[in-house]
Amino acid sequence: MNNTLQSNRRQFIGGALGAAGLAAMPTWANAIGANDEVRVAVIGFNGRGKGHIGSLLAIKGVRITALCDVDQKVMDKQVADFKKKNIEVKQYSDYRKLLEDKDVDAVTIATPNHSHTLIALAALAAGKHVYVEKPVCHNPIEGRKLLEASAVVLPRGQILQHGMQRRSSPGWAEAVAFAQSGQIGKVTLSRGINYKARKSIGKTAAPAQPDANGRIAGTFRDTGGKPQIVDVDYKLWSAPRPVAPMQREQFHYDWHWQWAYGNGDIGNQGPHQLDVARWALGNPTLLPKRVMSFGGRWGYQDDGQTANNQMAFYNYEPAPLLFDNRGLPSKDMNWKPGYEPVYLVNGKAAAARIGNVIHCEGGFVAEGKAYDNDGKQIKKFDNFNDGADHMKNFIDSIRAGKLVNDNLHVSHGYHAAALAHLANASFRLGKQMSNDEIRERLSNDKAGQETFEHFVKNLEANQINMATDKIVVGPWLDYDPQSNQFTGEFAAEANKLFAEEYAPGFELPTVS
C-alpha cells in the first residue's frame, strides 16, 4: 500500500459512521467455501441490473435470494418473471433493510450514479461482498472513500469489484499488452471514442412533486416514447441527494443528463473507454495534473444539463489521453442513418464508433487489431469481447477470498470515473469561445486539432450555427493527484463542484 493510501485510510477510518444502524452490523463477510452457494441480492434492475440478473443466473452455485428497487412497478415485473422460472426472492425497496438480511452474502449495485458509492460503502460496512457498476462514484471524493474502504476489506477477503467489464476480456488484455510491449514503438497518444445517439429528453412545463407519502407515482414515458407507469419511493431514489422536484418527462434513465444524479455521457458510456485509454498508458497510479474540456448541448432545448458533444484532454506523461464524445447524428438531425466512421485506414473504418485507438510510434491498435503506419494489419487479438466473464470473476473472487485478477480492483473503476468528473468540472466552468480561439488553444496539439475539425464538421452537418451557438470551453485545470484537489486560478470553483450535499440519514458510512 502506498503512503497516500495509508494516510487517506487513516483519515477515512477516523471519520463519523454516517448511516444509522450500521455500527451494529458485521464488519466482514462470512467465508464461502468452494462448494457453498453464493447468495446474491441485486440492487436496482430497471436497466443494467437486468444484465446482472441474467449473468448471475448463468453461474453455477449462485442463487439470487433478494431484489431491491425503489420502483414497485419494476419490482412487480421482475418478481413475476422469476415466478415463471420458479425462483422465489425476498423483496426490498430500502437498501438499508436489505443489508440487514443475513441470507445475503453479496450485492450487485446498478442504481442511478448518485447512489452508487453510498450503497456500496453501506454494503461493505454490513459485511457484504460488493459489485458496483460504473461510474463507481458520482464525484472523486466518493471514489477516494471507496479506495480507502478497499484497503480495509480486501485483506480480510471481502470483495469490492467495479463494473468495468473490459477488464475481464482476454482480448483487451492482449491488445493493451501488445501496445505496451514496444513492438510498434512507444505509446504516443491514447484515444477514447464514444459516438452514441442521445436524443432530446423533452421539456416539461412544470416539475413533478412527490405526494404526501414521499412517492412519485404516475404515467411518464419510456426510452421509446411510450407510456410507462412508475411508483417510486422518491426519498429513497433521491438518496443521498436531498429531495428536489423532478424535472424530466421520463423518470428512469434520463437522470443521466442532470448534474445532481448523472454525469453526462462522458460519465455514462465514457468510463468504459476512459478505462481502456488509461490502461493503454500503463495504468497510471495518479490522476493527470492538468485537464481541459469543451462541448455543449446542441440540436434541441430540453431539461438536460450535460453536454451531448464533448472533447476532453488529459495531460498524462509521457503520452496524453484524448476523449471524443458525440451524441448527435451524422447530419441533418436525422437519427436513422447512424454515424460516419470515426477512425479511417485507407478509407475503411478501423475503430468502432464506441471504442479506443492506441497510437504508437510505429503504428496503432484499434479495438481488436494492430496496424503499422501504412494501415497494414499486422496482428489480430483473439477472445476480444466486452468481458463476458466479469460477473463470474466476481463470484470466483468471493470463493477465493481475494481478487482473482488485479484488473478487478476498484481503483481502476475510480480512475475511469474520476477522469470523467475532472473533464466535467472544466466544462462546467467554461465560457463560449469562437472556433478560431479554440484552434489557437490547440495550436501545439496535432491530434487535438484534427479531432476538433471533425468535431466541428459534425456540428455544422447538423445545421448548428457555430457563429451564434458557440462551443463552451472550460479552462485548463491544475489538479494535485496527491491531495485530490484542484489548485491554481480556478481551484475554488472547481473543488466546490465535488463538495456535494448529503441528505440527513444518508451520509457516507465508514468501513472499518
- Of the candidate ranges 132-146, 328-342, 426-440, 453-467, the one whose mean pLDDT is the lowest: 328-342
Q: Is the dihedral of CA 259, 260, 263, 269 positive or negative?
A: negative
> pLDDT tens digits, residue range 272-293?
999 999 999 999 999 999 999 9
Q: Are 343 and 326 in contact (CB under 8 A)?
A: no
Q: Is the peptide bond before 26 cis (omega within 30 degrees of 0)?
A: no
Higher per-residue pLDDT: 3 or 310: 310
Beta bridge mates, 292: 313
pLDDT, residue 28, reads: 52
> CA nearest 492: which of 432, 425, 421?
425
Q: Which of 341, 352, 345, 254 is nearest to 305 (CA)?
A: 254
The CA-based angle 31-116-229, given to 5 degrees, is 115
- Region for 307 from its dihedrals, namely left if φ exceeds 0, alpha if ψ lies in -120 to 50, beta otherwise: beta
How open is the CA angle 244-16-263, to the nearest 5 degrees? 40
List pLDDT tens digits, range 53-83: 999 999 999 999 999 999 999 999 999 999 9
Domain ranges for the chain, please list them.
Answer: 3-167+390-409, 170-199+265-386+418-498, 215-257
What was the pLDDT predicted at 39? Answer: 98
Q: State the DSSP code for 408.
A: G
DSSP letter, residue 343: S
Checking if the pLDDT of 229 tops 90, the result is: no
> What is the spatial distance between Cα 286 and Cα 177, in angstroms, rounded to a whole number?
20
Amino acid at 147: L
By C-alpha distance, which of 136, 120, 117, 130 is closest to 157? 130
Please give the sequence-ordered ranges of beta strands (E in DSSP) within 166-259, or none if there are none: 187-195, 215-221, 227-233
- Residue from 62, 13, 23 nearest 393 by CA: 62
pLDDT on residue 27 = 43
Set of cell numbers at residue 18: 454516517
Sign for the pseudo-dihedral over CA of 484, 486, 491, 497: negative
DSSP per-residue string spanning 154-181 = GGGT--EEE--GGGG-HHHHHHHHHHHH
Taking the C-alpha atoms of residue 442 and residue 18, their distance in angstroms, rounded to an integer, is: 45
Note the pLDDT of residue 323.
Answer: 98
Mean pLDDT computed over 82-94: 97
Q: Cα–Cα distance between 386 and 390 in angstroms, integer?
A: 9
What distance lies between CA 486 and its chain's CA centroid?
A: 21
For 379-420, the pLDDT digits (tens) are: 999 988 889 999 999 999 999 999 999 999 999 999 999 999
User: Phi and psi of 259, rounded to 5°?
Assistant: -60, -35
Q: Find out whether 32 and 394 touch, Cβ atoms under 8 Å.
A: no
Question: Over the stretch 495-509, which tens digit does the pLDDT of each residue have?
Answer: 999 999 999 999 999
CATH domain 3-167+390-409 topology: Rossmann fold (3.40.50)
Q: What is the CA radius of gyration of the chain?
A: 23
Q: For the ranges 34-43, 340-349, 463-472, which has the lowest average pLDDT?
A: 340-349
- Report which of residues 433 and 5 the model is more confident about: 433
Which residues is 359 bridged to in the sheet? Answer: 189, 364
Report the distance separating Cα 406 and Cα 393, nearest Å: 11
Look-up: residue for cell 477514447? Answer: 192
Q: Please report the pLDDT score of residue 219 as a whole number.
A: 84
* Bond before 135 cis per omega within 30 degrees: yes
Q: With contact defined as beta carbons under 8 Å apart, do 166 and 136 qualify?
A: no
Distance between CA atoms of 147 and 412, rounded to whole angstroms?
Answer: 10
Q: Which residue from 95, 113, 107, 114 is spatially nearest to 160, judged by alpha carbons?
A: 107
Note the pLDDT of residue 31.
65
Give the residue-averaged pLDDT of 127-132: 98
Return the CATH number of 170-199+265-386+418-498, one of 3.20.20.140, 3.40.50.150, 3.30.360.10, 3.90.1300.10. 3.30.360.10
Distance, CA of 120 to CA of 86 (rounded, Å):
29
